[in-house]
């Protein structure tokens, strides 16, 4: 074995989180796309089968009460809460990230002081956040102001009502300054909404500690909830009484089964609910969260940084000079749990990697993206991925015979 292979073996042997890998359905593939879709926890199919055959098949409508279906959105929200630094009673699960972004942005403008007409949006945001925020702005009579996260403090002013930001940039993996930017938004008298899709389950967030107002996130990446698993909405306890959802569905009513024509919002995070919960995917998510029992987010963060450090070291050692360049920050405080490499022929390179058993993904036109999920990715995976990448880059640069 090479020195790097020997180091990978030693690091895996010493890794306290390594035993968690056996909780997932994995094969010999190096799976580095958990930042798009997390791996399947082994016990989830049996739980879903139980929901199908007993709770739906036998109990049928009784399961809304007897199987706890009705309270699942809040119950599962309380299980996600520790992973993002929130106390219980502030997170409700349901709908997609996009729908929750809409709820949060509109609600933020309603929480903001009167007379403010601007919504600042992360200029590099994931497209759907921008689309939704722009539509929300049109509906509420606000103006959208795209701005780079680092430039937010200078762009804030007396017209700023709300600010929508991503904690981790989905292309580069850069971590934005959640504590500092939240404080700056509050100092300007505005309300902040954070998108946690690429940070929840990968690094500490500290929603309560840093006084975040509203936050949204998906559950199918680092939380391993399954394809299309429901997203979540965080409403800080101090805002819940005034939280005014633009989608006041019947399940967020104070007395949903009264079926009254007038809307009276429920207390607490329940106000973030809309329609009937998507029970099958929601209970699959609930089962998936079992893999987090006894796992501390600080330990996950430490392994994430060690994995990405090691991968970058291996790439530097193996890859032909000048073929790839990291666009992920080297500083630990600025790095999420992924490595993004700029590569001239990225699409062909990623296709070749996947064919050789290393699965990452592509962000066009030229970014290879590798996500490191500490619960099941090991150091040997990182070394092998870098070695195969180097082989692919070398082969693609060789002149045709």
Q: Could you give the C-alpha distances from 390 to 320, 328, 343, in angstroms and in order?
A: 7, 18, 12
Q: Under DSSP, is residue 50 helix (H, G, I), strand (E, B) or coil?
A: helix
In the set 170, 220, 243, 318, the catalytic residue is 220
Question: 369 an active-site residue?
Answer: yes
Assess contact for 94 and 226: CB atoms under 8 A: no
DSSP H or E stretch at residue 362:
strand 361-363
d(CA 192, CA 181): 9
Task: State yes or no: cis peptide before 365, omega within 30 of 0.
Answer: yes
∠ CA 14-20-22 to the nearest 5 degrees? 110
Question: 220 an active-site residue?
Answer: yes
Q: Locate 281 and state its tokens.
A: 């995917």
In the set 122, 195, 361, 381, the catalytic residue is 195
In the set 103, 369, 384, 387, the catalytic residue is 369
Q: Could you give the C-alpha distances from 180 to 78, 103, 329, 397, in angstroms and in order?
A: 26, 24, 18, 44
Strands (E), 94-242: 118-122, 143-147, 160-166, 191-195, 214-217, 232-235
> What is the pairing mode between strands 91-93 and 232-235?
antiparallel
Assess contact for 31 and 39: CB atoms under 8 A: yes
Buried b (16+ CB within 10 A) or exposed e, 260-296: eeeeebbebbbbbbbeebbbebbbbbbbbbebbeebe
Q: Locate 297 and state its tokens.
A: 């987010």
Point out which residues pair with 359 in neighbouring strands: 31
C-beta neighbour count of 167 within 10 angstroms: 27
Residue listed under structure tokens 């993996």 = 173
Question: 221 an active-site residue?
Answer: yes
In the set 221, 273, 323, 384, the catalytic residue is 221
In the set 24, 31, 102, 126, the catalytic residue is 126
The catalytic site residues sit at: 126, 195, 220-221, 369
């Amino acid at each position: 074995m090479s020195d790097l292979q020997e180091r990978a073996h030693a690091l895996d042997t010493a890794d306290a989180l390594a035993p968690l890998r056996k909780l997932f359905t994995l094969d010999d593939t190096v799976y580095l796309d958990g930042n798009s879709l997390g791996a399947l926890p082994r016990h989830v199919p049996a739980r879903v089968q139980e929901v199908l055959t007993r709770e739906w098949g036998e109990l049928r409508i009784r399961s809304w009460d007897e199987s706890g279906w009705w309270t699942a959105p809040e119950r599962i929200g309380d299980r996600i809460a520790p992973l993002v630094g929130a106390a219980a009673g502030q997170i409700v699960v349901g709908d997609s990230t996009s729908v929750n972004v809409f709820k949060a942005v509109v609600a933020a403008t309603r929480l903001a002081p009167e007379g403010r007409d601007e919504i600042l949006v992360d200029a590099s945001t994931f497209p759907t956040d921008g689309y939704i925020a722009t539509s929300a702005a049109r509906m509420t009579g606000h103006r959208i102001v795209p701005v780079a996260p680092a430039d937010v403090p200078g762009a804030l002013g007396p017209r700023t009502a709300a600010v929508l930001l991503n904690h981790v940039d989905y292309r580069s993996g850069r971590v934005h300054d959640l504590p500092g930017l939240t404080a700056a938004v509050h100092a300007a008298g505005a309300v902040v909404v954070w998108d946690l899709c690429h940070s929840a389950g990968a690094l500490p967030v500290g929603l309560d500690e840093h006084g975040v107002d509203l936050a949204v996130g998906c559950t199918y990446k680092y939380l391993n909830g399954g394809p299309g698993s429901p997203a979540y909405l965080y409403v800080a306890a101090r805002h819940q009484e005034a939280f005014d959802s633009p989608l006041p569905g019947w399940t967020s009513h104070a007395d949903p089964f009264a079926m009254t024509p007038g809307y009276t919002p429920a207390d607490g995070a329940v106000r973030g609910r809309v329609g009937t919960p998507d029970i099958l995917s929601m209970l699959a998510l609930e089962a998936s969260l079992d893999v987090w029992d006894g796992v501390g987010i600080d330990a996950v963060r430490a392994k994430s940084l060690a994995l990405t450090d090691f991968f970058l070291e291996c790439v530097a050692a193996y890859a032909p000079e000048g073929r790839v360049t990291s666009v992920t920050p080297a500083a630990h405080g600025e790095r999420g749990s992924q490595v993004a490499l700029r590569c001239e022929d990225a699409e062909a390179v990623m296709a070749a990697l996947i064919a050789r058993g290393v699965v990452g993904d592509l962000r066009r036109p030229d970014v290879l993206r590798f996500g490191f999920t500490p619960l099941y990715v090991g150091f040997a995976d990182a070394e092998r991925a870098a070695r195969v990448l180097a082989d692919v880059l070398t082969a693609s640069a060789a002149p045709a015979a």
